[in-house]
Structure 1
Amino acid sequence: MAIAYPEFRNARCTRFRYRYSECQRCLDACPHEAIALADDGARIDETRCRNCGLCIAACHTGAWASESFKPIDLLRQAIKQPAFSVACAPSGLAADAIAPCLGALGAAFIAYLGKRRIPLTLLGSSHCSQCEHGAKGAAALASHLDAAERLREAAQEADKDWIQPQLTDAAPIRSPEKPTMGRRQLFRRLIGRGVEAVAAAPAPAQQVVPEKAIRAGAYASTEERELLQIVCARKDGQPTSLAWHEALPLMQLFLKSGCTNCEACFRACPTGALQIVENPGEWALAFQTDRCVACEVCLEVCQPRVLDAQARFDARPEQPARVLHSLVKQRCARCERFFVSPQPREKCPICEDDEDAFAQIFG
């Protein structure tokens, strides 16, 4: 199956939005060492790339895309048929549609067909041990099947007839009991937020993210996130209680004490899930669940390390924005501009900086 090399859209990449981001989902997913990372995004080596599409499925923000492989087009084809089958290209098997690798089919694709009660057959998984995409393709498929099952369990009270996908040419892939954490998540769990001693320690001094570390870009959602809006909806109005899963672009944020209102998380967010809401008397940091794709760049850019993700949350769509933090505006006694600060201050930071600079120069 000949498809174009994946296209990289840097404005959607968390490494472009925040130059110190450690995100490497695409690199970890690539079985051919064809991706190189930099502080402004990623690049693909066309001499190594084998068009498996695993980088496309791994990226939560949609930074990777291909004109020749679009899962949304497969869905448009599938919903017109009573049953649908997808085979991986290396297997050479015949099916209604051919994918470069079964691991390139995201959990939202699988779950959407299950909720629509369209039987899905996946062919070619028995070929994984001989395939050039190898273990990483099989691992991605296992993770997506596990995530789709979590979505089914979350909605089973309302959708009891959810149809699970079938693997007909291989032994069933065993889903892990827990989603496997990447090195980034494991480090953060152990060092950043998971140790009680760290959580109980005094809030660290305010640190400032350099202006050039965060790059501006247009907000963009993804097709997979839009599909999950449909998948997570429930007719009975009850919560869709879902545990965090690495394969799902879903996350719910909360804020611990110690926020310095630096707005770095808002500026780095590539989807507009974090918003600054202001009126004449108040400043607020709000979170829109429906727009979040769980890229985690906000957790990385937060210098006080007070922004965190819930282990389990309500994934229903169309929830109102949640205010994470709000402050009453203060008025500077010198310039009379309004500003916000965690503590009461007589002068705004700009005026204080001016006075400090004047004192250093002239004594």
Structure 2
Amino acid sequence: MNIYKQNTDIFEFDRLKCLRTDYYHNNCSECIDICPENAFIFDRGKLKLDEKSCKNCGVCVGVCPSEALSVNFFDPNGYIVSLNDSEVFLSCKKDTPCLSIFSTQNFITLALRKDKVSCDLSHCENCELNKENKIYESIKNRIDEANRFLKESKCDKKIEIKKISQDLGRRALFKKMFNNVKELSGEGIDIKSLSNVRNRIPIKNILLKNSIKKEIESINNSRISTNYSFLSNKKIDFDLCNNCSDCVKFCPTDALFYSNDSTTIWFQAGKCISCGICNNICEPKAIDNEENIDLIEYAFDRGKKLVEHKLEICSECKTPFAYKGGELICDRCKNFVNDFGDIFQLASDME
């Protein structure tokens, strides 16, 4: 039994992929906010699934930034790469579950790969899952975000929202498991490697990057804003950074990483899932977000140097530290002297 996974017969919650497990102070609450049955709870500070309350609806799958949630009867990523039609019509009354199973990245990927993408949201109004209209608003917000991305990148694509009143009849949803390992391997995705705790780039992000690569000629503006839920571009203030390495250690996807000599911190926007852990954990607040990002650098996983330090040996504790001029003493020792120097001076005077 895997103690890090909670399962119903259909639904799975992988705690090792959850951002709340990565960093205790992370405040991601996407699954909690959207769940119509309040099936996610906190028990002794840990996010857990109330298996008795879970209805296996899958509406939370599309909002999870790290793909910690899944259902065994439908994989949105596998479904996307298996589609052969040039025009796609998504409906919960056709061959998919609730459209909330798709993320913003999924919607953009579909739009980039297909000639036409339409979504049927007409059944949300009378759906028992759509309490307080939260599911409908969440799906629509994701589609709107996808369209905003397509518009800003000046790509001649758009996802349409249509209303179809009749029941279309499900064609193949429960006849086929949409895991599609073969199709995903064709995208350069190794499922086994992605199960590694330190290599957790969501498949939806990889598919999006592949789609941008394939459609790069149709993207007329590669420099766009980072005002999206899944995009982030980082910068580090040299004067504030003390090279403590916390941002690198806690990055769940290794988007932040060190050079071999631990003097330089690099960043790959294509691996970042915009979780904000690095910003929150940085005690001197040296990390901040850039307002823009280059989609070519993002799609091709190009790294950029954020900060480079010169290491010297502290004269007090004899450990390497990021030297910025002046005395050869690290911040820890300097703060210790400032905080407790009077005590040592008092002890010296009493001898």
Residue in 2 that maps onto 1:127: 123
SS of residue in 2 equivalent to 1:61: coil
Normalized against structure 2, the TM-score is what?
Answer: 0.74
Is contact 1:327–1:341 with CA below 8 Å preserved after alignment? yes
Deviation of residue 240 (structure 1)?
A: 2.0
Inter-CA distance 335–19: structure 2 relative to 1 (3 Å threshold): closer
Task: Answer yes or no: is 1:276 the counterpart of 2:258.
Answer: yes
Match status 1:167 vs 2:171: no
Structure 1 residues 50 and 341, CA, compared in 2 at 3 Å: closer, same or farther? farther
Give the aligned CA root-mean-square deviation in angstroms. 3.3
Asked if 1 retains the 8 angstrom alpha-carbon contact of 2:235 and 2:306, the reply is yes
After superposition, what is the alpha-carbon deviation per residue over 1:176-216, rounded to whole angstroms, capped at 9, x for unaligned?
xxxxxxxxxxxxxxxxxxxxxxxxxxxxxxxxxxxxxxxx9
Aligned residue number for residue 89 of structure 2: 85
Mapping of residues 271-310 of structure 1, within 5 Å: 271-279=253-261, 283-310=263-290
1:235-292 deviation digits (Å, cap 9, x = unpaired):
278652333345x42211123452232221111110000112243xx71122111100
Instruction: Report how many residues are paired.
Output: 300
Alpha carbons of 1:5 and 1:309: their partners in 2 closer, same or farther (altered >3 Å)?
A: farther
Alignment of 1:138-153 (within 5 A): 138-153=136-151
Equivalent residues of 2:310, 2:324 under 8 A apart: no
TM-score by length of 1: 0.71
Match of 2:240 among 258, 261, 268: 258
> Which position in structure 2 is the counterpart of 1:327?
309
Q: Which runs of 5+ in 1 are unaligned?
A: 171-215
In structure 2, relative to structure 1, the CA distance for the partners of 1:27 and 1:333 (3 Å cut) is: same
Structure 1 residues 236 and 336, CA gap change in structure 2 (3 angstroms): farther
**With CA pairs under 8 Å and 6+ residues apart, which has the higher RCO, 1 or 2?**
1
1:54 is paired with a residue of what secondary structure? coil
Q: Give the whole-Å Cα distance in 2 for the aligned partners of 1:167 and 1:38.
A: 41
Unpaired segments ≥5 residues, structure 2: 1-7, 166-195
- Residue identity in the other structure for 2:109: Y
Q: Secondary structure at the match of 1:19?
A: coil
Q: Name 2:173's counterpart in structure 1.
A: none
Q: Please identify, of 112-121 and 54-63, the stretch whose mean Cα deviation from structure 2 is larger.
A: 112-121
How has the CA–CA distance of structure 1 residues 121 and 334 changed in structure 2, closer, same or farther, with 3 Å as cutoff? closer
State the partner residue of 1:155. Answer: 153
Deviation for aligned residue 1:333:
4.7
1: CA distance between counterparts of 2:197 and 2:329? 32
**Structure 1 vs Structure 2: percent identity of aligned residues?**
21
What SS is found at the alignment partner of 1:259? coil
How does 1:226-245 map onto structure 2 within 5 Å?
226-233=206-213, 234-235=216-217, 240-245=222-227
Q: Does 1:114 align with 2:111?
A: yes
User: Which position in structure 1 is the counterpart of 2:183?
Assistant: none
